[in-house]
Structure 1
């Protein structure tokens, strides 16, 4: 479609900002509309695998701008003993890095790039409340914080407004559902810990924990994931280290030391979108990121898939002649990949939380496998390359 095609992105999270930058790089003028009056980073840290970093590199965002910490492996440990189960290689076949980083640093880098691009306009404080289609395109109604209503019409609308997407609700798509898991997130300042040993995950029955360096190694991000009955038992109200220490009282002393050294714990109930909302069947609307396929963090691919989506949506529009064709191109590239990623997430969820006897078999299997063999298992994921425009 020609660069004169009107593009409207709903949502200024990772998916929406990446999409806007990708469209602008292809020569399209882009309007982004965000419901929040102020953009504030949500969450403490995230991991970006090589597949996502290739997109960011094409958008001019390198490791230095992201303030990330490179990793070559992820260390899996027994939750109880702390013994190393396996070192999982995470560098891709072409040598592209794997980064752990502070979510705010990624969002700041994306926002700075958006602010510097004359083709992108960002509007805050407007919530999508309705949509309609006509021969002119898709018209969205936005309610401002003062109660007034604004309407915008675009040929292509990118729905990137998160797991509880208002635009998807307006389309009549199924709502996100609770997964039954909750993530407790906290950070540890460098002064309160020894030097970070890289990305580590402790696996145990019904729960696991992940720790990794962010902010160029000055801070460690710690996430404890378990059943939401933890929060229902009163932990959400107290959010105390004492309650968390009780839940992990028989785990590796190193992990308990991290919990003790960490700042306040914030509970984050985990919801999923299933089935995928990527193809709503409305001409000119492409749903991306968590709005389309919010997934659990067991494969550390939520942000990566949002970034891939943003680039691919722009690619699909550039090579199409109609909105319908753009949606088909997007689905052709994304559907099978997202299904496979979901399957990997479900697999990790099962094997991370195994009880003692099955866990022993898992550990033995991993110890007997070579690093090359494990790397081949993840090659399809990490070696993905953004489609060329």
Structure 2
């Protein structure tokens, strides 16, 4: 039987939902709390590489992902005027029977995972804020804003970059800005967009887009980080459209379709990595709570879901929750994640420095790493 009989999960993102699904499949009682009022209510698009698709198949949602998303196996490079420079076959890191990449709406993915978890008996409470945790030798007591107080064998903190769980544990981790900000918009997909194309010239460090379904895409522009917090939604839309005027080809249609201020957002690239064990007693951190990286390699969600896979596998195979289990978890996750985080940050550093570097070599190295099962 699994090393735990009941688990609390804090956070309803891809890491928390993946862990909840896998543990529920193993017969563990799972209680998941999410601060947002609705899972999948916000977000633009997400790029899922093959190793993420491999996990989604394990979670039992691959068929729906394939139906709702847009699969492709080639990455395009263009100039700012729209000229195609290269069409590069992308590595099928999830195996030959899965596409190299799928783009889909982030809210769609979240809802698929939440529905799957609910079918398996996971108790999901949204709009619920954790307020206190108390550790005992044989369990963890979690108190929440809805007045509930429950004791579990293990608590999984999968609550993102600004993790409440991490703070409650007293774990010190500095999240470092990388000097870049990204504009993202979710909109209509022109017929000419069938894959991700990237542009590395023009006023933005990167101009790109990814199809997310039969008629949708998300587009993004990466600039030097600025304080854009004072802009109204309309001003954010205007600013992104103005930056996009330097780009042509499919960008001309994309830019014209950007008309809804609610579908534009701006965030900074950040990074952190908890260097060492990710657990404290009977609480463990996974996903962005312990590692985050810029989206330059599109591996953030994949690494988060891999954390859940490895953790659930170890918990399901063990009889007790002991240091041997935690040592195995650290051994299987820390250096793999470190390689991905470091490479993602390295790409940012090269772009900021306008440095000519072996980007294809770095991408091949990471593709080879993540092709291997975690």
Q: CA deviation at 1:314?
A: 0.6
User: Matched residues in 2 for 1:268 and 1:43: separation?
Assistant: 11
Q: Where do residues 85-100 of structure 1 align in structure 2 (5 Å cutoff)?
A: 85=86, 87=88, 89-92=90-93, 94-95=95-96, 96-97=98-99, 98-100=101-103
Q: 1:322-351: per-residue Cα shift (whole Å, max 9, x none)?
A: 243332221111000000001220122234
Please give the secondary structure, in 1, of the residue aligned with 2:129.
strand
Partner of 2:31: 31
Which of the numbers 117, 126, 131 marks the counterpart of 1:124?
A: 126
TM-score by length of 2: 0.87
User: Matched residues in 2 for 1:352 and 1:228: separation?
Assistant: 13
Please give the secondary structure, in 2, of the residue aligned with 1:126.
coil
Aligned length: 366
Partner of 1:9: 9
Partner of 1:350: 349
Partner of 1:185: 184
Q: Where do residues 189-208 of structure 1 align in structure 2 (5 Å cutoff)?
A: 189-190=188-189, 193-204=190-201, 207-208=205-206
Per mean C-alpha deviation after superposition, the further-off stretch among 49-58 and 203-212 is 203-212
Please give the secondary structure, in 1, of the residue aligned with 2:170.
coil
1:77 correspondence with 2:74: no
Partner of 1:295: 293
1:225 correspondence with 2:236: no
Partner of 1:111: 114
Backbone CA RMSD of aligned residues = 2.8
List gaps (5 residues or longer) in structure 2. Answer: none
Q: CA deviation at 1:272?
A: 3.2
User: Matched residues in 1 for 2:279 and 2:372: separation?
Assistant: 27
Change (3 A) 1:319 1:270: farther
Q: Where do residues 248-259 of structure 1 align in structure 2 (5 Å cutoff)?
A: 248-252=244-248, 254-259=250-255
1:380 correspondence with 2:368: yes
Q: 1:48-67: per-residue Cα shift (whole Å, max 9, x none)?
A: 11111111112211244451
Q: 1:346-379: per-residue Cα shift (whole Å, max 9, x none)?
A: 1222344554xx4xx55xx77xx8xxx8885343
Is the CA contact 1:48–1:99 (under 8 Å) kept in the aligned structure 2?
A: yes
List gaps (5 residues or longer) in structure 1. Answer: none
Partner of 2:144: 142
Change (3 A) 1:158 1:271: farther
Partner of 1:331: 330
Partner of 1:262: 258
User: Matched residues in 1 for 2:113 and 2:222: separation?
Assistant: 28
